[in-house]
């Protein structure tokens, strides 16, 4: 694996006058001499040195200290249009608007992502840089995912007028105005925070902290099996807290909620799912259990969740067609946007058999809506009402359904329409999970029911 060098020119404790406190990172130059994506593919049809990538950039900076907030660029910014291999004089400033009340500053983390389109599918590079305010100026290197292709470089400078937390005197400014451009200092390696469970050092089964967007910590359950590591992004069950999944707005599903854990009720958050797009090709595994019995293990390749602006549309390709998220009625969950009972994108409550199963039975009336999901077929809802198990029987008895008018936690395991020509199958599993993985799916033990017990 080739190393990518990051030129880091520090312009610390500068004496430039400003109103109040400030902390800013200047992204000065980006250099991709090979004009290739991270996976080695050329960006243009020319495919030779000197024909570069037209590039979109996203940057996020998080300063550490007290009373500092996250600093995010609003959206992807296009930084070149003419296949330049080097974007010099970029001079893009990432700064924090909430600095006035800051009283301490210990450093910052910067993540810069580069891709050829604003949807960040074709990634050129992904830099994660940590700088501590007492760190000397220098040239830093880190190892990234740029296998088998020429390295790229990024050059940044930073500036603050906030003194570090220290009992010793604030160092004299070493530079005023002119960015530092080089050093003979020995390069140091900046560890990359784990974006998923497979990157957690010496990962063991249990709750771990990962950084799906490279910056923001998220607690997640990691399952380390003999054939690979899973990052569990959704789980339902009767272990731990019985929490409601019945939120009214799509935005209520943007962030993580619940407690990660085996058999617990947990949601990783749609924004975190989206943050993993393009980082690696993720596959999704869904496990459905009734009691300790494994009912189905479904696998989907190239799992991706779109932006909030596109209502977190789900895309993936099914390992077995016609079941689960690929079950087809007038639509499929694969390619559906995320909806709730007050915010429908695609189908509506009145055309969704999850909520209209009884609409033909005049004496009972329509079912009650529960839980946000990618309602494309309306045959599935892993965020449905969690029914307590009834002696290892996950069929919802009609009298229970009559009483509650709510279907449960369900997912089609057979193709074709369900009972009475509806899309639903009247099962409610009492333990399910959605887990991401990046290893070869042919190594999976499809009979492994360890999650169910």
Compute the least distance from the CB of residue 65 to ligand NAG, in Å.
9
Single residue of 238, 307, 413, 417 touching ligand NAG by CB under 6 A = 238
103 binds ligand NAG (CB under 6 A): yes
Shortest Å, Cβ 277 to ligand NAG = 23
Residue 251 Cβ vs ligand NAG, minimum distance, rounded to whole Å = 4
Residue pair 37/157 in contact (Cβ under 8 Å)? The answer is: no
Q: Map the footprint of ligand NAG across residues 421-450, applying CB under 6 A.
A: none
Query: Residue 145 or 308: which CB sits closer to ligand NAG?
Result: 308
How many residues touch ligand NAG (CB under 6 A)?
17
What does DSSP say about strands 257-258 and 123-132: parallel, antiparallel, or unpaired? Answer: unpaired
Q: How far is CA 48 from CA 32, 41, 150, 331, 442, in A?
A: 12, 11, 12, 44, 36
Q: Which stretch of DSSP H or E encloses residue 258? A: strand 257-258
**Residues 149, 155, 159, CA angle at the centre, nearest 5°?**
155
Region from 31-39, 77-85, 247-255, 330-338 binding ligand NAG, contact rule CB under 6 A = 247-255
Other beta carbons within 10 angstroms of residue 89's beta carbon come to 7
CB of 5 to ligand NAG, least distance (A): 25
Map the footprint of ligand NAG across residues 82-101, applying CB under 6 A: 101
Task: By CB under 6 A, tell whether 64 contacts ligand NAG.
Answer: no
By CB atoms closer than 10 A (0-12, 13-18, 19+), residue 50 is exposed
Q: Which is nearer to ligand NAG, 189 or 395 (CB)?
A: 395
* Min dist. Cβ of residue 202 to ligand NAG (A): 4
Residue with smaller CB distance to ligand NAG, 386 or 435: 386
Q: Sign of the CA dihedral 147, 151, 155, 160? A: positive
115/38 Cα distance (integer angstroms): 9
Closer to ligand NAG by CB, 66 or 188: give it: 66
27-35, 54-62, 220-228, 242-250 -> range binding ligand NAG (CB under 6 A)? 242-250
Measured from the Cβ of residue 307, the count of other Cβ atoms closer than 10 Å reads: 16
146 Cα distance to chain centroid? 20
Cα dihedral 161/166/172/173 (nearest 10): -30
Nearest-angstrom CA–CA distance, 15 and 335 = 53
- Shortest gap between Cβ of 120 and ligand NAG (angstroms)? 25
Q: Indicate which single residue of 44, 122, 141, 251 sits in contact with ligand NAG (rule: CB under 6 A).
A: 251
67 binds ligand NAG (CB under 6 A): yes
- Which of residues 99 and 115 has its CB atom nearest to ligand NAG in the complex? 99
Query: Residue 23's closest CA among 31, 32, 12, 33?
Result: 12
Q: What is the DSSP string of 422-448?
A: -S---B--SEEEEEEE-S-GGG--TT-
Residue 425 CB, shortest distance to ligand NAG, in Å, is: 13
Interface residue with ligand NAG, options 78, 165, 166, 242 (CB under 6 A)? 242
Q: CB neighbours of 309 closer than 8 A, spacing ≥ 6?
A: none
Q: Does 224 bind ligand NAG (CB under 6 A)?
A: no
Nearer to ligand NAG by Cβ, of 15 and 239: the residue is 239
CB of 172 to ligand NAG, least distance (A): 26
User: Is residue 201 a contact point for ligand NAG (CB under 6 A)?
Assistant: yes
Provide the minimum distance between the beta carbon of 234 and ligand NAG in the complex, in angstroms, as a whole number: 16
CA angle 423, 429, 435 (to 5 degrees): 95
Per-residue CA distances from 431 to 229, 291, 389 (Å)? 20, 7, 9
27 binds ligand NAG per the rule CB under 6 A: no
**Shortest distance, CB of residue 68 to ligand NAG, whole angstroms?**
10
Q: Which of residues 354-413 bind ligand NAG (CB under 6 A)?
A: 386, 388, 393, 395, 397
Of 92, 180, 227, 247, the one binding ligand NAG by CB under 6 A = 247
Kindly indicate which of the ranges 31-39, 126-134, 248-256, 297-305 contains the residues binding ligand NAG, using the contact rule CB under 6 A: 248-256
CB of residue 304 to ligand NAG, shortest distance in Å: 24
In the set 249, 330, 414, 453, which binds ligand NAG (CB under 6 A)?
249
Complex with ligand NAG: residue 11 or 432, whichever CB lies closer: 432
Residue 202 contacts ligand NAG per CB under 6 A: yes
Secondary structure (DSSP) of 129-191: EEEETTPPSEEEEEE-S-TTS---EEEEEEEE-SPPS-SSPPPPPS-SSSPP----SPP-BPP
Total residue length of the chain? 453
- DSSP codes joined into one string, 190-254: PPPPPSSGGGSTT--SEEEEE-TTSSS-EEEEEEEETTEEEEEEEEE-SSS-------SSGGGGS
Kindly list the residues in this chain that would bind ligand NAG in the complex (CB under 6 A): 66-67, 101, 103, 201-202, 238, 242, 247, 249, 251-252, 386, 388, 393, 395, 397
């Amino acid at each position: 694996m080739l190393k990518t060098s990051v030129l880091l020119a520090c312009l610390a404790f500068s004496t430039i006058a400003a109103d109040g406190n400030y902390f800013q990172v200047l992204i000065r130059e980006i250099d991709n001499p090979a004009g290739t994506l991270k996976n080695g593919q050329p960006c243009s049809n020319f495919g030779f040195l000197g024909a570069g990538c037209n590039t979109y950039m996203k940057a996020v900076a998080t300063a550490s200290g007290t009373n500092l907030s996250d600093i995010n660029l609003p959206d992807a910014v296009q930084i070149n249009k003419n296949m330049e291999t080097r974007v010099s004089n970029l001079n893009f400033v990432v700064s924090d608007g909430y600095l006035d009340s800051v009283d301490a500053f210990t450093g910052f983390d910067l993540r810069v992502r580069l891709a050829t389109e604003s949807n960040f599918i074709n990634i050129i590079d992904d830099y994660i840089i940590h700088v501590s305010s007492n760190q000397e100026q220098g040239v830093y290197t880190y190892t990234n995912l740029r296998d088998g292709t020429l390295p790229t470089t990024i050059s940044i400078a930073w500036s603050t007028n906030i003194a570090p937390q220290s009992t010793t005197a604030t160092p004299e400014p070493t530079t005023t105005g002119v960015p530092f451009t080089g050093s003979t200092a020995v390069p140091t390696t900046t560890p990359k925070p784990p974006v998923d469970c497979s990157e957690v050092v010496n990962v063991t089964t249990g709750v771990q902290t990962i950084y799906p967007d490279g910056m923001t910590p998220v607690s997640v359950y990691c399952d380390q099996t003999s054939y690979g590591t899973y990052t569990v992004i959704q789980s339902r069950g009767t272990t731990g807290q019985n929490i409601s999944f019945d939120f009214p707005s799509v935005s209520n599903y943007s962030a993580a909620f619940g407690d990660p854990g085996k058999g617990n009720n947990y949601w990783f958050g749609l924004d975190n799912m989206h943050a993993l797009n393009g980082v690696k090709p993720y596959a999704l595994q869904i496990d459905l259990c009734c009691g300790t019995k494994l009912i189905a293990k479904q696998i989907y390749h190239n799992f991706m969740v779109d932006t909030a602006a596109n209502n977190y549309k789900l895309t993936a390709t099914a390992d077995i067609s016609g079941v689960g998220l690929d079950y087809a009625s007038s639509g499929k969950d694969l390619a559906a946007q995320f909806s709730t009972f007050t915010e429908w994108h695609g189908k509506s409550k009145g055309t969704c058999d999850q909520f209209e199963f009884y609409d033909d039975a005049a004496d009972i009336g329509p079912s009650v809506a529960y839980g946000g999901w990618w309602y494309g077929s309306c045959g599935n809802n892993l965020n449905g009402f969690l029914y307590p198990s009834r002696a290892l029987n996950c069929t919802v008895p009609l009298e229970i359904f009559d009483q509650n008018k709510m279907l449960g936690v369900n997912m089609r395991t057979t193709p074709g329409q369900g009972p009475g020509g509806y899309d639903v199958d009247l099962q409610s599993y009492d333990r399910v999970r959605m887990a991401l993985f990046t290893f070869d799916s042919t190594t999976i033990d499809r009979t492994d029911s360890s999650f169910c017990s």
